[in-house]
């Protein structure tokens, strides 16, 4: 794994706490929290792709944004579920 991949992975891993912090600060839950999570996930995906130099906002680059965005969203959801399980 080269340095660009490490940076991208770090951005994805930091996505979970960033999403949770935003939801807590804004006091969101339900559908609003879900939308916020999706939007923040896409933004973090674009940041990660930009850092590694693979950000393309047209044509074939758009699916990469959504693919990485869904990965960020999934990881954030898993981390959130783990944290909620520990609180119960």
Q: Above 60 in pLDDT, residue 88?
A: no
Q: Shortest CA distance to 42 belongs to which of 80, 69, 22?
A: 69
Predicted pLDDT of residue 4: 65
Q: Above 80 in pLDDT, residue 1?
A: no
Tens of pLDDT along 50-86?
887 888 888 888 898 898 888 888 877 887 777 766 7
Segment 44-51 mean pLDDT = 84
% the chain with pLDDT above 90: 7
Burial letters 54-81, b for 16+ CB under 10 A, else e? eeeeeeeeeeebeebbebbbebbeebbe
Q: Above 80 in pLDDT, residue 13?
A: no
């Amino acid at each position: 794994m080269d340095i660009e991949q490490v940076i991208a992975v770090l951005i994805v891993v930091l996505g979970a706490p960033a999403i949770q912090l935003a939801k807590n600060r804004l006091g969101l839950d339900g559908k609003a929290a879900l939308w916020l999570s999706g939007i923040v996930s896409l933004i973090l995906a674009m940041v990660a792709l930009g850092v590694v130099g693979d950000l393309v906002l047209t044509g074939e680059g758009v699916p990469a944004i959504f693919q990485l965005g869904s990965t960020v969203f999934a990881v954030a959801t898993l981390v959130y579920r783990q944290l909620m399980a520990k609180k119960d």
